[in-house]
Chains A and B, each alone.
Chain A
Amino acid sequence: MSKPSLIRYAILLALIALWFLVTAMEWVKPIQLPPPAGLWAAWQADGSRFLDAFALTAAEIAVAILIAWPLGIGIGAVFGSLRAVSEAASAILGSLFAVPAIILYPLFIAWVGMGPESKVLFGVIAGFFPIALNTLSGVRQVDQSYVTMGRAMGASRLQVFYRVVLRLALPSVISGLRIGTALIMISVVVSEMLASFGGLGYMIAYHRTMFDTGHVYLGILMALLTVLTVNWLLSMLESHFSKWQERGAEL
């Protein structure tokens, strides 16, 4: 292992040690930062409720992904391949992406209620933009000589699009999926925190008002681990599909 990464692990260990120390010495109030044992206690007390909440959140996330992925890739691919409008479409999507999606959440509550529907809707909106934007720019940046070559080899326009263009844009599409999916997951949890009757975010928010700090930190930890795991899986996928690209760039 290299020296810098050793030092990084040392810093991480030091932070965890600091957590033990600060809470053991009661330098902060337990209702602000629980000792590590507090998380364990919360798990023992309410583990099954946390798992139920997790299942609901995971289901909301899954539905949002099932909608946002095809929607984002579809719209991005269509506008990316329409050369005449792709630049304008990219600018419009880009400025819409700058609007904090969170301000739409109250609207979704008013429209579809506080149930899982509003979480899914919010997740879809939050995840859609990076997916569409990345797909669009990936498709747009495909070298036109590939299209010419494909056509000269007798491929139909559709064949060129599916077998050449989309495939060349894949690394960019997947990196959009990674960013978009992280946003979907976090938006679902955060919207549960703001207003809901269930889910991991609800558990976090409810126990914060009760000052069950161990529960709050446990909930956050669970949400965080979910996000990180999915993120990691998608980045594996990303590096798998961009391997040839990186090596190509080196030459």
Chain B
Amino acid sequence: MRLSVLLGAQAGFFVLLAIVWESISRLELVDPRLLPSFLTVLGVLGDLLTQRDFLMDLGITGLEVGVAFIIAAPLGVSIGFLLGEKLFLGQILSPMFHFMLSVPQSIFLPIFMLLLGIGFLEKVVFGVTHAIFVIIVTTTAAVRSVPRDYVTVARTFGATPRQIYLRVYLPAMLPVVMTGLRLGMIFNIIGVLLAEMDASRAGIGRRLFSWGEGFQLDLLLAGILLVSALTIIINEVMRYCEHRAARGHVA
């Protein structure tokens, strides 16, 4: 009930945005070359989605994002778990990872380009570095957030260490870890898109940038619309999983 009201409000906002956009260009309040109408852009987007080479670009970006996430997620969760479990190691390394999280990684892009060259590998590695620190830090926080009492109670009932991990730690940590993964995914997408925009031969980021430079605003806006929609969908789906995982948890 509550959730559906919220979703309705969100949907309503985007519909309103589209209507405002459409009216602005219909009433020619701004130069239509600078802001083509919403419906025009929607039509252009429809065309784009039937073009093979555009879909290839979309696929390449998707692949980079996907591979980066498949590397960053298990690696980040494992490191985070280790830091949360091994107290001494955590004391040494956790502040370093916190620091790395507060340093904006985008600035290091030229270094990645110098070290790895420009290409698929550089994009993936850049995506991984964007995603991994937030995953590590939240996983460590998740481990520490598991109340000691849960473990004590499980022990008094004779749970084996394996059972404690699988039946106590994992479910208790899950919601926080999911938050970390979601943020990691968002950062990952930012990293890959940025790397593509700066220098690459393929990918949706490259497309957006060259449309911008070429003043092809209908194509550019169609691309922005598509990427926005995709990231919002990814974010909302992951947030939904988070809520599911958090069900029954207090606070």
Is A in direct contact with B (CB under 8 Å) within the complex?
A: yes
A residues adjacent to B (C-beta < 8 A):
2, 4-5, 7-8, 11, 28, 31-33, 85, 87-88, 91-92, 95-96, 98-100, 102-107, 109-111, 182-183, 185-186, 189-190, 193-195, 204-205, 208, 213, 216-217, 220, 223-224, 227-228, 231
State the CA gap A195–B115 with chains docked (Å): 22
**Which residues of chain B are near A96, meaning CB under 8 Å?**
232
Q: Does B110 lie within 8 Å of A194, measured CB to CB?
A: no
New A-B contacts (11) at CB < 8 Å, excluding given A7-B92, A8-B95, A95-B235 = A2-B91, A32-B115, A95-B236, A99-B227, A100-B194, A102-B190, A106-B220, A107-B224, A208-B110, A224-B107, A227-B107
* Closest Cβ–Cβ distance, residue A107 to chain B (whole Å): 6
Q: Does A223 lie within 8 Å of B190, measured CB to CB?
A: no
**Which residues of chain A are near B186, meaning CB under 8 Å?**
98, 100
Q: What 4 A-B pairs are tightest by C-beta distance, nearest first?
A: A106-B212, A88-B9, A98-B235, A186-B104
User: Residue-by-residue, is B174-186 near A (CB-CB < 8 Å gives 1, otherwise 0)?
Assistant: 0000000000001
> Given A208-B113, A216-B110, are A102 and B235 neighbors across the interface (CB < 8 Å)?
no
State the CA gap A243–B148 with chains docked (Å): 27
Q: Does B232 lie within 8 Å of A98, measured CB to CB?
A: yes
Residue B80 lies at the interface, judged by CB distance under 8 Å to chain A: no
Q: Does A11 lie within 8 Å of B232, measured CB to CB?
A: no
State the CA gap A104–B208 with chains docked (Å): 9
| 27 A-B contact pairs sorted by A residue (CB < 8 Å) | A2-B91, A4-B91, A5-B95, A8-B96, A11-B92, A33-B114, A88-B5, A88-B9, A92-B10, A98-B235, A100-B227, A102-B190, A102-B193, A106-B209, A106-B212, A107-B220, A107-B221, A110-B212, A110-B215, A110-B217, A186-B107, A190-B194, A194-B197, A194-B198, A195-B213, A205-B198, A220-B111
Q: Does A103 lie within 8 Å of B6, measured CB to CB?
A: no
* Closest Cβ–Cβ distance, residue A104 to chain B (whole Å): 7
Contacting residues of chain B (185-199) with chain A, CB-CB under 8 angstroms: 186, 189-190, 193-194, 197-198
State the CA gap A96–B17 with chains docked (Å): 12
**Which residues of chain B are near A227, meaning CB under 8 Å?**
103-104, 107
**Which residues of chain B are near A100, meaning CB under 8 Å?**
186, 189-190, 193-194, 227, 231
**Which residues of chain A are near B34, meaning CB under 8 Å?**
110-111
Q: Does A228 lie within 8 Å of B110, measured CB to CB?
A: no
**Which residues of chain A are near B212, meaning CB under 8 Å?**
105-107, 109-110
Contacting residues of chain B (83-101) with chain A, CB-CB under 8 angstroms: 88, 91-92, 95-96
* Closest Cβ–Cβ distance, residue A100 to chain B (whole Å): 4
Q: Does A183 lie within 8 Å of B104, measured CB to CB?
A: yes
* Closest Cβ–Cβ distance, residue B212 to chain A (whole Å): 2
Q: Does A88 lie within 8 Å of B10, measured CB to CB?
A: yes
B residues adjacent to A (C-beta < 8 A):
5-6, 9-10, 13, 34, 88, 91-92, 95-96, 102-104, 106-111, 113-115, 186, 189-190, 193-194, 197-198, 205, 208-209, 211-213, 215, 217, 220-221, 223-224, 227-228, 231-232, 234-236
Q: Does B103 lie within 8 Å of A204, measured CB to CB?
A: no
State the CA gap A18–B217 with chains docked (Å): 48
For residue B221, which residue of chain A has the nearest CB? A107
State the CA gap A103–B194 with chains docked (Å): 8
State the CA gap A152–B110 with chains docked (Å): 59
Q: Does A88 lie within 8 Å of B6, measured CB to CB?
A: yes
**Which residues of chain B are near A217, meaning CB under 8 Å?**
111
State the CA gap A185–B107 with chains docked (Å): 10
State the CA gap A147–B66 with chains docked (Å): 48
Select one of B104, B194, B211, B227 contacting A182, CB under 8 A: B104
* Closest Cβ–Cβ distance, residue B3 to chain A (whole Å): 10
State the CA gap A111–B193 with chains docked (Å): 21
**Which residues of chain B are near A28, meaning CB under 8 Å?**
115
**Which residues of chain B are near A182, meaning CB under 8 Å?**
102, 104
Q: Does B109 lie within 8 Å of A193, measured CB to CB?
A: yes
Q: Does B107 lie within 8 Å of A223, measured CB to CB?
A: yes
